[in-house]
Amino acid sequence: MDYNNNYSIVIPCYKSSQTIETVVKLTSDELLKIGIEHFEFILVNDCSPDNGETMSVLKQLTKKYKNITAIDLAKNGGQHNATMCGLSFAKGDYIISMDDDMQTHPSQLIKLISAIDDQTDIVYGYYPDKKHNILRNLFSIINYWSVRILIGKPKELKTSSFWIIRRYVRNYIIQFKNKDCYLQGLFLRTTKNIKSIPVEHFERKIGTSNYTFKKLLMLYIKMLCYSIIPIRMASIFGLLFAFIGFIASIIVFILKLMNPQVISGYTSLMFAICFFSGLILFFIGIIGEYIARIFSSASNDPQFVIRRIYK
């Protein structure tokens, strides 16, 4: 790794007035310690609902440090969209993404930076021992298997919001303008030269996770934009159950011929109606999500809206 390159550190900020200054200071110290002198911070305030406290701290940091750009978004777009905003302003040869809560700790930067070599375009830091709550850990497990099945993520690749990428990767993914942004899907579309390394995950010192069940669910749904497997599943299940229904009809017809007194059961009939109706509605919902994404893209719904930039 050539430490003479320029580095950009992109940090989405959400109600982080009490932590972001510490993150910036420790990150600067760690980079200087390993000989990296050319770096910048892109701090993106994702419309934090804290009466302007986060943005106030970010503005103070731009006055204190010359290498900080603070971006104030006019509406909340989520962590991935805020990161995309930061990436569009990043000028470094390498771009690093970190969290604002000290859980992706600056002391682990040396591991991430040292791991990117000539054969690697993206390096993820992953946590063998996560300090998340039960909801986040459960979602991580579901997300791991879903991304493997839907997007084709390699089995050995483990991911997080702590990563480093080359500039050409950044140049490619910022061309994606749809508001339903899912960075892992974009990375997997860009290159196969991706690896992951274990890093320590630190306890959150202040506050609790900003990821509610609703936000985790919406992030999961965004994954649909990057795979056509759910649509194919609808076709496969439709054919499968149509075949089962056809066989069942033949069996019922034969039983009726053999014994005219046989009366179709009410329970089995209601079960079939409820089951297949639910299945149909489920796949209609999936198709509806795809149509909604197409509509959103066609209507040019913005990925992020910048209210003001501070330097």
Instruction: Quote the domain boundaries for residue 267.
Output: 229-298
* 237 and 253 inside one domain: yes
Beta-strand ranges (E) seen in the chain are 7-13, 39-45, 68-73, 94-97, 122-126, 163-166, 194-198, 306-310
Same domain, yes or no, for 192 and 234?
A: no
Q: Residue 183 is part of a domain; what is its CATH number? A: 3.90.550.10
35 and 178 co-located in one domain: yes
Does residue 56 form part of some domain? yes
Is pTM beyond 0.85? Reply is no
pLDDT in tens, the chain (311 residues): 556 689 999 999 999 999 999 999 999 999 999 999 999 999 999 999 999 999 999 999 999 999 999 999 999 988 899 999 999 999 999 999 999 988 889 999 999 999 998 899 999 998 886 655 565 666 666 666 666 666 667 778 888 889 999 999 999 999 988 887 888 888 988 999 999 999 987 776 665 555 555 655 565 566 666 666 666 666 677 667 667 766 766 776 676 677 766 555 655 665 667 667 667 767 776 777 677 667 666 667 788 899 999 98
- Asked if residue 249 and residue 117 are part of one domain, the reply reads no
Question: Are 163 and 137 part of one and the same domain?
Answer: yes
Determine, yes or no, domain membership for 222: no
Please state whether beta strands 39-45 and 7-13 pair in parallel, antiparallel, or not at all (unpaired): parallel
Please tell me whether residues 131 and 196 are part of one structural domain.
yes
